[in-house]
Amino acid sequence: MNYKESYKIFSEDLHARGLNLELVKNRLKKQKIETPSWGYANSGTRFATFPYPGAARTLEEKIEDAAMVHKLTGIAPSVALHIPWDKTSDWEKTKTYAENLGVSIGAINPNLFQNETYKFGSLANSNEGIRKQAIEHVKECIEIMKKTGSKDLSLWLADGSNYAGQVNMQQRKLLLEESLNEIYNFLPEDKRLLIEYKFFEPAFYHTDLPDWGTAYAFSKKLGEKAKVLVDTGHHAPGTNIEQIVAFLLTENSLGGFHFNARKYADDDLIVGSVNPFELFLIFIELVIAENSTGISKTCADNISYMIDQSHNIEPKIEAMVQSIINCQTAFAKALLVDYKSLQEKQNTGDVLGAHRELTLAFETDVKPLLYTLREEMNLNPDPIKALHENDYQNKITAERGSDTNQSSGYPTA
């Protein structure tokens, strides 16, 4: 049975369940996922980097690869940059170059962890000179935002300590608050500060921004331009990420996502590859918020969705396309839930009935829907197949080769 025949059956099933297929497709067509420049370069772990033929070496090549992913998927129209890895002398030229390829510059990510100066921290460092250096770097990134049209400053810190007694944790909290205040006040009104958190690594005793609650507290103190960024890999096994998402949505404090997957901690694997049900449940909370009124909907309508992954052994572009597909699949399934029936079962204490409302949607094969959707968007129904049939990978491999001397260019965030 081909996908068009399968789609007919799918349509009839949705109609029988009382769901509006056109509404589902329209919402899927509006989905946007940002890809990271560093995901197209040779990236790795603290142990090794395995160069991949044709991996991007320059900012222009990263943008070209991002544009190819958008061309294949139709829902990846922007590329996040990391500074100084992606620093250039002519931002207007870079912005125009990206636009001519059909993409825009997305979130700007400061690097406050690789410089030797930041050995004992950056924005929370007890040394005033080092803190000022870190703040100036972030301000430089804000200036880049102005030049590129980026709206989000995505901030992750490696600040922390390895041993009890190594630092004064109360002092560091106050110093970090002081640094963030200066950054926040420098931020234009039309820009946002997204505060990312991570419960450990590279520090193993304490981390200055260890969890969503800390990021939330800082963002609330700073003001409306500050939001929390949820990296799906930055949690301990068993953490209920969808509950965190639900809480932040109702507080209008969720600013964005870094999508990846983790089996243990910050594994930076392809999103949805380890626990697709978890990704689905996260999108459930997002759809509930989108369908609501008031503060949750306001928050949901302004979330930035970004990929943050380390493609160490995978083909770079194919891995990114697969990441986009997995996000699209999770969102599609979340849109197939009968939320009216779900709420009725929740309100009447029908425990398993409510659970089955979710599993019914999760177990639905949405490939016929997505194939048809892409065809309506003038795309190849199968992006992976289209990539394999395209000569792009052979072209960039011939042009770029395989540079075994490339540094990783990848954050441990």
Q: List, as one string, the DSSP characters of 328-389.
A: HHHHHHHHTS-HHHHHHHHHTT-HHHHHHHHHHHHTS--HHHHHHHHHHTTS-S-HHHHHHH
Q: How wide is the angle at C-alpha 139 spanned by C-alphas 136 and 140, nearest 5°? A: 90
Question: Is 400 part of a structural domain of the chain?
Answer: no
Could you read off the pLDDT of 233-271 as tens digits, one per residue? 999 999 999 999 999 999 999 999 999 999 998 989 999
Question: Is 138 part of a structural domain of the chain?
Answer: yes
Question: Is 102 part of a structural domain of the chain?
Answer: yes
Question: Is 208 part of a structural domain of the chain?
Answer: yes
What pLDDT shows up at residue 407?
47
The answer for 165, left when phi > 0, alpha when psi is -120 to 50, beta otherwise, is left
Question: Is 97 part of a structural domain of the chain?
Answer: yes
Mean pLDDT of 152-157: 98
CATH at 268? 3.20.20.150
Question: Is 161 part of a structural domain of the chain?
Answer: yes
Question: Is 54 part of a structural domain of the chain?
Answer: yes
Could you read off the pLDDT of 155-193 as tens digits, one per residue? 999 999 999 999 999 999 999 999 999 999 999 999 999
Domain count, the chain: 1
Those residues with Cβ within 8 angstroms of residue 196's Cβ, 6 or more apart along the chain or in another chain: 154, 155, 156, 157, 209, 215, 229, 231, 234, 258, 413
User: Which among 202, 221, 205 has a CA at the least distance from the CA of 213?
Assistant: 221
Range of the domain at 162: 32-337
- Residue 379 pLDDT more than 50? yes
Could you read off the pLDDT of 195-217 as tens digits, one per residue? 999 999 999 999 999 999 999 99
Q: What is the mean pLDDT of the chain?
A: 95
Which run of H or of E encompasses 267? none
Question: Is 359 part of a structural domain of the chain?
Answer: no
Could you read off the pLDDT of 292-348 as tens digits, one per residue? 999 999 999 999 999 999 899 999 999 999 999 999 999 999 999 999 999 999 999
What pLDDT shows up at residue 21?
96
Percent with pLDDT over 70 in the chain:
97
Q: Where does the pLDDT of residue 403 fall: very low under 50, low under 70, confident under 90, or very high at 90 and above?
A: low
Q: How wide is the angle at C-alpha 309 spanned by C-alphas 28 and 40, nearest 5°? A: 90
The pTM score is 0.96
